[in-house]
């Protein structure tokens, strides 16, 4: 049962990154699942409404059921009602994408956003992704609230990722990452320039409950618009938003899921 569950979850996670779907053979080969077992698992996931086939004998792709479950969970947790006014206010002031990520164990996951730009060039990544701790402003904002040892432990478990998948200035060594984190601690918030993606800058600050970070608020946009000077101008508003969200975050069960004694 454990093996089947592990394989089923692996199939769902792999299909999350393939909106056009994947053939059974490719899924089985990539995930090292016997093709007969992979077929049975996909048939069961299809019966439960989590996947469908593009056509008879075609590629398998996710349905909207997982997204629906996630959105329903976020809604029932109260996080949308709590954070929405703060995110909208900051998005309106900055004119950029504002996101909220929550600390969930050893993961940092983007769960809500507000878009300040209504037309023209927008930076608008998908929600529900785990932040890459080594090269995102959100990741750095969480890590700056931790000791160097704990920060490096979390990054080593997640990994630095493949340099080709991120921006040209993404840190790829412990020394480079610590230099970025030390600067962020001195500043009081994180700033990145072409670390997560080419042509993109971002800034972020932790949402603190006492000394523990339970979430992160970030602002991201094109570097020609969200310049270092502009980020410095926006820093007081962003820090005010995190300071306001910290005390009221207790109203949502989604906040505060970091393991005790780990910060």
- The CATH code of the domain that includes 243 is 3.30.450.40
Instruction: Report the Cα 95 to chain-centroid distance in Å.
Output: 21
The last residue of one of the domains, among 63, 84, 116, is 63
In order along its 263 residues, the chain shows pLDDT tens digits of 688 999 999 999 899 878 889 999 999 999 999 999 999 999 999 999 999 998 767 899 998 888 777 766 666 666 667 788 899 999 999 999 999 998 888 889 888 888 887 665 555 555 667 899 999 999 999 999 999 999 999 999 999 988 888 999 999 999 999 999 999 999 999 999 999 999 999 999 999 988 889 999 999 999 999 999 999 999 999 999 999 988 877 766 566 554 434 44
Contact 78, 249 (CB under 8 A): no
In a domain, 167, yes or no: yes
Of 192, 209, 204, which is closest to residue 234 (Cα–Cα)?
204
Model's pTM, two decimal places?
0.74
Range of the domain at 7: 2-63
The alpha carbons of the chain give a radius of gyration, in whole angstroms, of 20
Same domain? For 34 and 126 the reply is no
Quote the number of domains for the chain: 2
Same domain? For 179 and 130 the reply is yes
Contact 103, 258 (CB under 8 A): yes
């Amino acid at each position: 049962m454990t093996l089947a569950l592990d394989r089923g979850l692996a199939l769902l996670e792999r299909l999350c990154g393939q909106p056009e779907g994947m053939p059974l053979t490719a899924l089985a080969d990539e995930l090292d699942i016997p093709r007969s077992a992979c077929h049975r698992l996909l048939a069961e996931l299809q019966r439960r409404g989590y996947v469908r086939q593009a056509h008879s004998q075609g590629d398998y792709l996710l349905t909207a059921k997982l997204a629906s479950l996630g959105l329903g969970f976020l809604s029932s947790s109260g996080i949308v009602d709590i954070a929405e006014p703060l995110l909208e206010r900051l998005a309106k002031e900055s004119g950029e994408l504002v996101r909220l990520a929550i600390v969930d164990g050893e993961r940092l996951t983007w769960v809500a956003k507000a878009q300040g730009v209504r037309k023209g060039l927008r930076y608008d990544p998908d929600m529900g992704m785990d932040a890459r701790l080594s090269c995102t402003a959100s990741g750095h904002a969480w890590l700056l609230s931790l000791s160097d040892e704990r920060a490096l432990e979390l990054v080593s478990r997640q990994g630095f990722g493949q340099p080709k998948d991120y921006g040209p200035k993404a840190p790829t060594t412990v020394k480079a990452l610590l230099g970025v984190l030390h600067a962020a601690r001195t500043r009081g918030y994180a700033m990145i320039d072409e670390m997560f993606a080419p042509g993109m800058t971002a800034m972020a600050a932790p949402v603190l409950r006492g000394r523990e970070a339970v979430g992160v608020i970030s602002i991201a946009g094109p570097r020609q618009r969200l310049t270092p000077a502009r980020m410095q101008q926006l820093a007081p508003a962003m820090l005010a938003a995190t300071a306001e969200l910290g005390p009221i975050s207790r109203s949502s069960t989604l906040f505060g899921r970091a393991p005790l004694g780990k910060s």
